Amino acid sequence: MKLLFAPLEGITNYVYRNTHNEMFGFCDEYYSPFITPSEDDKVNRKGLNDIVPDNNPDIVIKPQVLTNSAEAFLKFTEKIKAVGYDEVNLNFGCPSQTVVKKGKGSGFLKEPDKVDKFLNDVFEVRPMKISVKTRTGFLEGSEMENLMDIYNKYPLEMLIIHPRTRSDFYNGMPDLEVFKKAFYTSENHVCYNGNINTVEDYEKIRAIFPELDCIMLGRGVIRNPALMREIRGGKKITTEEIVSFSKRLADNYQSTLRSETFTLNKLKEVWMYMIQLYPEEKKIFKAIRKANKLVDFMGAVELLPELK
């Protein structure tokens, strides 16, 4: 089984990815948080800095792009080809309102004819290998049937399906019936994404779809950074590892950001997920959230009990 690490804006930047790989590994490919190019050929420098090979020396990284403009997309691919990339991932899944109102991410799915035109224009040039990360529709999962007719027209490197609609956001459970229909009608290689938070969640999906050979994990790995190791039969994560991981993240962010405040903000974002491993430790989480200094933050983390 191939295991991919989904991007999470603001969290899974190169500092986090490298630290995760150093301590836990077992990830086949990391996907970068989306970069948004514009038609005037401008690309966020911070986004490009996140994917330059020098900042990702020991991992396989797949850049992700968020756009509804074929022209902007093609210009972007020229930039990443210049630094050695031969594959890019298109984001048709982001449910954020600021993204959707611009007709991007899952907002693009409201107009499937435009998605088709976009892909046609891109594949006429086909500057590199292209994968797509998609939701199953904007309002209803029944929209996926039409979307699959479109996706099947094009030789995608991979179709990563998160079986929720934009209107679902991250609520409820993924619609496995919609995924099943898409999986078995796809002309392209399919990867499953959605609600893999534990080894048991992974095994459930494997049991339902034994032919599946690729799973993308996101928030579940932020919550438990050893999840991929556990899925591959390795030992369960310990509090000692979590404390060590937090310290190493802090050191790596400090050396990159050169700011205690910015480092604390990054660590707190990560801990919004990791604290879920300790649902009873509300007082410790409060101390983590309120910490204004790294020494206080780490002092709170070090009070966590051993995991059962």
pLDDT in tens, 120-172: 999 999 999 999 999 999 999 999 999 999 999 999 999 999 999 999 999 99
pTM of the entire predicted model = 0.96
CATH (domain of 117): 3.20.20.70
Do 32 and 96 belong to one domain?
yes
Assigned domain for 41 exists: yes
Mean pLDDT of 28-33: 98
Mean pLDDT of 176-187: 98
Domain C-terminal end among 182, 212, 231: 231
| Residue located via tokens 């050191």 | 251
Band (pLDDT 50/70/90 cuts) for residue 64 is very high
Mean pLDDT of 227-248: 98
Confidence at residue 46, expressed as pLDDT on a 0 to 100 scale: 73
Domain C-terminal end among 205, 231, 257: 231
- Kindly state the percentage of the chain with pLDDT values over 70: 98
What residues make up the domain containing 276? 239-301
Assigned domain for 189 exists: yes
Do 221 and 294 belong to one domain?
no
Contact criterion met (CB below 8 Å) for 242 and 252: no
Per the rule left: phi > 0, alpha: psi between -120 and 50, beta: everything else, 258 is left
Band (pLDDT 50/70/90 cuts) for residue 45 is confident
Assigned domain for 308 exists: no
Contact criterion met (CB below 8 Å) for 154 and 196: no
Do 276 and 219 belong to one domain?
no
Confidence at residue 41, expressed as pLDDT on a 0 to 100 scale: 60
Nearest to 163 by CA among 194, 198, 139: 194
- Which residues, in sequence order, are bridge partners of residue 193? 216
Do 58 and 207 belong to one domain?
yes
* Tens digit of each residue's pLDDT (9 = 90 or more) over 296-308: 999 999 999 999 8
Q: Give dist(CA 115, CA 69) in Å, integer.
A: 10
**Token code pair at residue 163:** 């079986």
Domain C-terminal end among 177, 205, 231: 231
Assigned domain for 307 exists: no
Phi, psi of 90 (to 5 degrees): -95, 130
Do 170 and 243 belong to one domain?
no
Do 274 and 185 belong to one domain?
no
pLDDT at 180 over 90: yes
Do 277 and 212 belong to one domain?
no
Bridge-based pairing state of the strands 64-65 and 61-62: unpaired
**Token code pair at residue 192:** 């499953």
Do 132 and 274 belong to one domain?
no
Q: Give dist(CA 4, CA 80) in Å, integer.
A: 20
Assigned domain for 306 exists: no
- The per-residue b/e assignment along 70-82, b for 16 or more CB within 10 angstroms, e otherwise, is bebbbbbbebbee
Helices (H), 164-259: 176-185, 199-208, 219-223, 227-231, 239-257
Do 171 and 66 belong to one domain?
yes
Do 162 and 251 belong to one domain?
no
Bridge-based pairing state of the strands 190-193 and 214-217: parallel
Confidence at residue 70, expressed as pLDDT on a 0 to 100 scale: 96
Q: What's the number of domains the chain is made of?
A: 2
Do 193 and 294 belong to one domain?
no
Assigned domain for 154 exists: yes
Confidence at residue 39, expressed as pLDDT on a 0 to 100 scale: 65
Assigned domain for 140 exists: yes
C-alpha distances in Å from residue 272, one per residue of 173, 224, 251:
21, 12, 19
Q: Give dist(CA 227, CA 215) in Å, integer.
A: 13
Confidence at residue 238, expressed as pLDDT on a 0 to 100 scale: 98
Assigned domain for 88 exists: yes
Do 206 and 137 belong to one domain?
yes
List of E strands, the chain = 2-5, 29-31, 61-62, 64-65, 87-92, 129-135, 158-162, 190-193, 214-217
* Tens digit of each residue's pLDDT (9 = 90 or more) over 90-127: 999 999 999 999 999 999 999 999 999 999 999 999 99
Give the chain's mean pLDDT: 96
